[in-house]
Amino acid sequence: MKASYNNKAKSNSSSLEHKLWQAADKMRNNMDAAEYKHVVLGLIFLKYISDAFEEHRGRLVRDSADPKSDMYVKDEKARYLLLEDRDEYLRDNIFWVPKEARWAFLQDNAKKPEIGKLIDEAMVAIERDNPRLKGVLPKDYARPVLDKQRLGELVDLIGTIGLGDGESRGKDILGRVYEYFLGQFANAEGKKGGQFYTPACVVKILVEMIEPYKGRVYDPCCGSGGMFVQSEKFIQAHGGRVGDIAIYGQESNPTTWKLCKMNLAIRGIDGDLGPYHADSFQNDLHKDLKADFILANPPFNMSDWGGERLRDDVRWKQFGVPPAGNANFAWVQHFIHHLSPVGIAAFVLANGSMSSNTSGEGEIRKNIIEKDFVDCMIALPGQLFYNTQIPACLWFISRDKKNHKFRDRRGEVLFIDARKMGVMTDRVHKEITDEEIQKIASVYHAWRGEGGKYDDVPGFCKSVKLDEIQKNGHVLTPGRYVGAEEIEEDDEEFEEKMKSLTSELSEQFNKSKQLEQEIKKNLKGIGFTV
């Protein structure tokens, strides 16, 4: 099943997405991936909103000309004015696209040397007429370094793909393309790209485990918005209502903040990302927020987070001041600070966070454990991330383990060792399959009392009492607790087994002698004797 799952995923990617990537990559020239990313994703965004606009416009054309329709307008001039009425689009959550920004216009001019300038003007016009996109869209297509011939070719290619019409939205064509491109850019950018791109399989684990059906969802290092998108997908897949969650996020990188705004906009997700990009430590834009769910992948082992300026910060009062040279436990405490009384946080951290005692980290971890906030720990396999080959882990922090919707889990922590999971998607990257994700999530759900029977599985999962964690020096590494896998029992008698093995060995010795003779014979035939 694992192989077929991944082959299917690969075949999907190798068609539409891969074709697009190859065409787009031709025009990169001397631009680095970080810069080039916004050129491509900006065009994809523009095509999406233009498709959605044109489809809605087509509906208005039909309905306004149909005497049986409630929208019927007899006068042709009045009918045209209706088609150009911005409110007719905005009330259905459709971005207004002015004439100079419509894809048909740009495609008609794709072969002209001024195509870059026209695209810039289109972006300016869209931001002007859609205030929630102000300052978000890229507007540097006219720069000399961008090959205008290839830019025109890319416009033509994107023009052949439906992205924002009803059928394409139903198949989530845009989502597929967008996620594929973000992954490709992260791969091309290496470490820098990986800081904001979290592999979809890791996000799925976090979301499937904590099940954010209803309430406030917060990510203080939200990158391109993958946690929010996956939360929306989860709700839709389980028959919930997207309107039941409120999205809050923050991102310090200005271009990535814009990317996130675009990513949410194209999916119709209304999120509060603050009025501008900002550092969550130095300028917390959601100071009073108490979230029901926190989903995050903060940068690993960040040393330049400005901790020396925050020694007296209120966020460290409960568990201890984090070291100025590593932000890992600053992030953990930031998450806890922003949790509601019944909130749960699920986040990615470097493996060192589970056992490090450097610069007071061990004491902070001990204090969090003794407060009984740690709900579950998962060890992940290596090679999942684009920015590092170092394996990471998942933390699950719960403020209320007594009985918030689930069983009383006080004094217990679930450990899951998933290091043997995953399949290789290329020579350097691994992916955890949907089946494996479900296996992890179902174990956690059974353990916290959502149905199904929970049992410890040697080598994979174990429910551990607080006193055992104390005896292990407050180390949270799953491998220390889950033990070794059970070896399959072999019912064959020792004597019989040895007969079988020695017989097999004898056969191999005979084959070896035959091979030796063949080699000597061949060497002799060309004049060499051994």
CATH number at residue 184: 1.20.1260.30
Is position 489 within any domain?
no
Lowest mean pLDDT among 39-53, 254-268, 408-422, 465-479: 254-268
Are residues 120 and 202 both part of a single domain? no
pLDDT reported for residue 424: 93
CATH of the domain at 208: 3.40.50.150
pLDDT tens readout for residues 156-174: 988 888 877 777 766 666 6
DSSP one-letter string for 472-488: TTT---THHHH-PPPPP
* Summary mean pLDDT of the chain: 86
Are residues 291 and 400 both part of a single domain? yes
pLDDT tens readout for residues 376-399: 999 999 988 866 676 799 999 999
pLDDT reported for residue 387: 60
Are residues 96 and 207 both part of a single domain? no
Residue-number span of the structural domain to which 218 is assigned: 191-482
> What's the one-letter identity of residue 335?
F
pLDDT reported for residue 496: 66
What is the pTM assigned to this prediction? 0.79
Are residues 225 and 175 both part of a single domain? no
Contact criterion met (CB below 8 Å) for 103 and 119? no
Are residues 183 and 196 both part of a single domain? no
Are residues 397 and 446 both part of a single domain? yes
Are residues 271 and 410 both part of a single domain? yes
pLDDT tens readout for residues 266-322: 777 889 999 999 999 999 999 999 999 999 999 888 999 999 999 999 999 999 999
485 vs 270 pLDDT, higher one: 270
Give the chain's radius of gyration (CA, Å).
28
Are residues 84 and 231 both part of a single domain? no
pLDDT tens readout for residues 354-373: 999 999 999 999 999 999 99
* Exposure on the CB side of residue 273, measured as CA atoms within 13 A: 28
Is position 507 within any domain?
no
pLDDT tens readout for residues 437-454: 999 999 999 999 998 899
DSSP character at residue 414: E
Is position 376 within any domain?
yes
Are residues 123 and 218 both part of a single domain? no
Give the residue from 142, 164, 188 where a domain finishes.
188
Characterize the bridge pairing of strands 412-417 and 374-379: parallel
What count of residues does the chain have? Answer: 530
343 exposed, middle or buried (CB, 10 Å; 0-12, 13-18, 19+)? buried
pLDDT tens readout for residues 312-327: 999 999 999 999 999 9
User: Helix or strand or coil: residue 430?
Assistant: strand
Are residues 397 and 449 both part of a single domain? yes
Give backbone dihedrals phi and psi of 417, rounded to 5 degrees, phi first.
-105, 100
Are residues 355 and 389 both part of a single domain? yes
Are residues 265 and 394 both part of a single domain? yes
pLDDT category of residue 331 using cuts at 50, 70 and 90: very high
DSSP one-letter string for 326-353: --HHHHHHHHHHTEEEEEEEEEEEEGGG
Give the residue from 161, 188, 215 where a domain finishes.
188
pLDDT reported for residue 401: 95
Instruction: Return the closest-CA partner of residue 177 out of 387, 27, 24, 54.
Output: 24
DSSP character at residue 457: B
For tokens 């953990």, the residue is 332
105 exposed, middle or buried (CB, 10 Å; 0-12, 13-18, 19+)? middle
Domain count, the chain: 2
